[in-house]
Structure 1
Amino acid sequence: MTLSSNEISATAATSSITLDGEVNHRSAYPYHYKYIRDVILATHKVPWLEQLVGLRKEGWRNEGLDEVYMERQAVIQEPDMETQRFWFEQMRRVMSELDHFGVGLVPPAGEFKFLDIGCAPGGFSSYILTKNRQAHGTGVTLDIFQGGYPVLLEKRCQRRYTLVLRDLLQLDFTYDGAPPPVPLVPIPPSLRDHQYVLVLVDGHHLRHYRPESPSSAPDAPSPPYMAFRDAFFLSQLLLALDALRPGGTLVLKLTHAEYTHTAQILFFLDAISDRLALCKPRVLHRSRATFYAVARGVHVDRAPPGWVSGLRALWREARFGGEVEGMGRALRAGELDFIVSPGEIVEVWLDRLVKLARQVWGIQVRGLQKLFERTGVQPGTAANEQSEHEDQ
């Protein structure tokens, strides 16, 4: 269904009134992020997404889930070794799901070179190196002294693996642009030059991240989370585009497929790849908004002029554009429109987005239902009826 510009504006205006109660400490997204979602709800019959919005609202209103969330954050910030080993094994299972979803993402034999960005605790790399004994990998992660996690890769895999301890926020992605306002480190040759058949992007900006600075005390407080969240994402994406061999596969972790900025990144991946699919592993991600975009046959040179350079310019703004010198900021409405505007997505790509994301929403609905059962939250009967309708 195609909307006129007036109808699009009316949909956004109506939705902004009905969604006022949604933003809290777990959903600090400004309205423009949700614009695409609300157009989908207004123009398409997608019971999974309708139900997902309802379940999220119920979750946000439930104090019991607040406690679950806070407990999870406490564990993430200070995990013991048992927890870290559990994460390692779970990440191996996630990579197994991605491999089977991608129908042989990792070949069982033969030369195979991969890059794992945000590799700790090492489960993705362990799965690949175990399945293919001729594979060689490089992993990038934050040093534990800056808030990162240890890499638990088995000794039998380490001889075919190079671990790079690097703060991605300290790498220089400006290239031929104006020099950054603070000194940054050049990207190491081992992390660029389009040499990897598979690039995995699974890092996430840590709330307890500590910038690498000689003047920073070991017990100094972490900077505000939003100051570097989007800069970190763009750093990972640009590094992946520089490292991936033409025709290779890019696996990129994203969140909220129905949100505007995510839809714009998916549009970008769809344009530069032969095949794009979205995978939401049941392990770890079932009840969360996270999922993986699996882009195969990626050719960065397919991107129209200005797309990659625009990402570099936006990285600079997200990295240094905060109100405090040297600090970053979150992306704003319209800053990815050089790729595709929300209006253009609605006009020409909305059906494609819904087709890609439908199963992602469905898996999260089932995951939230199970989470609610464990914590005593009872979803409404209407939501359950929608779930049954989608299964038919």
Structure 2
Amino acid sequence: MPEHDSSYAEHEKKIAENASARRNSYWFSKMKAVFREIDDQTACIPKRGVLKFLDLGCCPGGFTSYILSKNSNAQGLGISSELEHGGHKFLLEDRHRSRFKIHYADLTYYRLAPLPASVTSDTKIHPVLPFDASKRFDVVLLDGHQLRKHSPARPGDRDRLLISQLIIGLQAAKHGSTLVIKLADAEQVTTAKLLHMLDVLTTRLEAFKPRGMHATRGTFYAVAQGVGEGRGASRLLALIDGLKELWVDLTIGGADGAGRALGDEDLNFIIGTAELREARQLDRLVELGQRVWAVQARALAGLRDPPLADAGIGGLEDPFTVTPAIAVV
């Protein structure tokens, strides 16, 4: 390669690297601010005391940084995709790194249930999780997302990631712990069924849409506190087993055995669609989703929300009465 071509290529590479570094830094700061919003509204992170947490999809590290900064006794463990496979760079501050251990892997390739030998011979399949399966955590964060560079894409990759996180998270959650998960479109059947599952397994469930990010999108965070202490807590193990069976089908199902997408009836082991359509279930779904829809409506209208300290549900609704058409009806 001529010298000037080599210099130009190196120059372009540096520009790309600098742009990527700026994006990662921006994303890190925004995610830290997002979790501050979540914690301000739900008080899910104690300031003092022993705190063990699991952060799935942890890079670039904003959620982890917030927790370790707030609680000097907190210790965490995370799993995130490798940088070379499109993952974000881990930007956790040096002063916190001794209290956090990160493992790099694709969450969808952990063997979370028995698979045929022909599948388990796939070199991408990890036979065990990178931490002791008996370990339990006070806080579990499920914020993994499908990477744009993920290639080759398989049918239902996004759904398999969601179900994988739920299996790992529910198994790792300590009795009475807090679980935070990113979901999308509360009015959709599959999301509504997952919200119902969290609602019956825990003592307190809130759906929260950060205004710093996600405001105009369908995504939001469900914050479930008191895991394993809800009115349906006796179903926990059976529900995890149901998720595992579904994970197998999403992984090797489909016409060619390459996996498939999640369907509305796949979560009937949680609650049937007919029961979900009953008035009391719809009323609860609207109760959970009201603040999410209100924030989204205001953002789409270009209106500013009141300060967080004053942001009760009523304050966010005005001037909207936001109850979208519920798709489960």
What is the TM-score when the length of structure 2 is the normalising length?
0.81
Which SS does the other structure have where 1:361 is aligned?
Answer: helix
* Comparing 252-261 and 312-321, the one that deviates more: 312-321
**Distance in 1 of aligned mates of 2:219 and 2:274:** 24
Equivalence for 2:140: 199
From 37, 62, 67, the counterpart of 1:97:
37
1:272, distance to aligned residue in structure 2 (A): 0.6
Equivalence for 1:14: none
Within-5 A mapping of 1:236-385: 236-299=165-228, 302-303=234-235, 306-325=238-257, 327-347=258-278, 348-370=280-302
**Distance in 2 of aligned mates of 1:305 and 1:203:** 23
Equivalent pair of 2:60/2:88 in contact (CA under 8 Å): yes
Equivalent pair of 2:103/2:130 in contact (CA under 8 Å): no
* Comparing 269-278 and 314-323, the one that deviates more: 314-323
Which SS does the other structure have where 2:141 is aligned?
Answer: strand
1:284, distance to aligned residue in structure 2 (A): 1.0
Which SS does the other structure have where 1:334 is aligned?
Answer: helix
**Distance in 2 of aligned mates of 1:92 and 1:86:** 10
From 142, 148, 153, the counterpart of 1:223:
153
1:207, distance to aligned residue in structure 2 (A): 2.9
Within-5 A mapping of 1:69-88: 80-88=20-28
Which SS does the other structure have where 2:220 is aligned?
Answer: strand
Equivalence for 1:108: 47
Equivalent pair of 2:294/2:320 in contact (CA under 8 Å): no
Structure 2: which amino acid aligns with 1:186? P
* Comparing 255-264 and 146-155, the one that deviates more: 146-155
**Distance in 1 of aligned mates of 2:262 and 2:252:** 12
Report the CA distance shift for 1:240/1:304 in structure 2 as closer, same or farther (over 3 A). Answer: closer
Which SS does the other structure have where 2:60 is aligned?
Answer: coil
From 177, 182, 188, the counterpart of 2:120:
182
1:305, distance to aligned residue in structure 2 (A): 6.5
Which SS does the other structure have where 1:282 is aligned?
Answer: coil
Structure 1: which amino acid aligns with 2:162? F
Equivalent pair of 1:192/1:239 in contact (CA under 8 Å): no
1:171, distance to aligned residue in structure 2 (A): 0.4
Aligned residue pair count: 285
Equivalence for 2:100: 161
Structure 2: which amino acid aligns with 1:81? A
Which SS does the other structure have where 1:263 is aligned?
Answer: helix
Equivalent pair of 1:92/1:124 in contact (CA under 8 Å): yes
**Distance in 2 of aligned mates of 1:150 and 1:198:** 23
Question: Higher RCO, 1 or 2 (CA under 8 Å, sep at least 6)?
Answer: 1
**Distance in 1 of aligned mates of 2:135 and 2:163:** 18
Which SS does the other structure have where 1:254 is aligned?
Answer: strand
Structure 2: which amino acid aligns with 1:368? L
Equivalence for 1:50: none
1:370, distance to aligned residue in structure 2 (A): 2.3
Equivalent pair of 1:279/1:293 in contact (CA under 8 Å): yes
**Distance in 2 of aligned mates of 1:258 and 1:81:** 36
**Distance in 1 of aligned mates of 2:235 and 2:298:** 36
Equivalent pair of 1:194/1:246 in contact (CA under 8 Å): no
Equivalence for 1:74: none
**Distance in 1 of aligned mates of 2:36 and 2:236:** 34
Listed as ranges, the gaps of 5+ residues in structure 2 are 1-17, 304-316, 323-329
Structure 1: which amino acid aligns with 2:268? D
**Distance in 1 of aligned mates of 2:84 and 2:211:** 32
**Distance in 1 of aligned mates of 2:134 and 2:212:** 33
What is the TM-score when the length of structure 1 is the normalising length?
0.68
Deviation string 1:176-206 (CA, Å, 9 cap, x unpaired) is x766733332333626325100000011112
**Distance in 1 of aligned mates of 2:255 and 2:96:** 45
Equivalent pair of 2:156/2:262 in contact (CA under 8 Å): no
1:79, distance to aligned residue in structure 2 (A): 6.2
Identical amino acids, percent of aligned pairs:
38
Report the CA distance shift for 1:171/1:134 in structure 2 as closer, same or farther (over 3 A). Answer: same
Equivalent pair of 1:227/1:322 in contact (CA under 8 Å): no
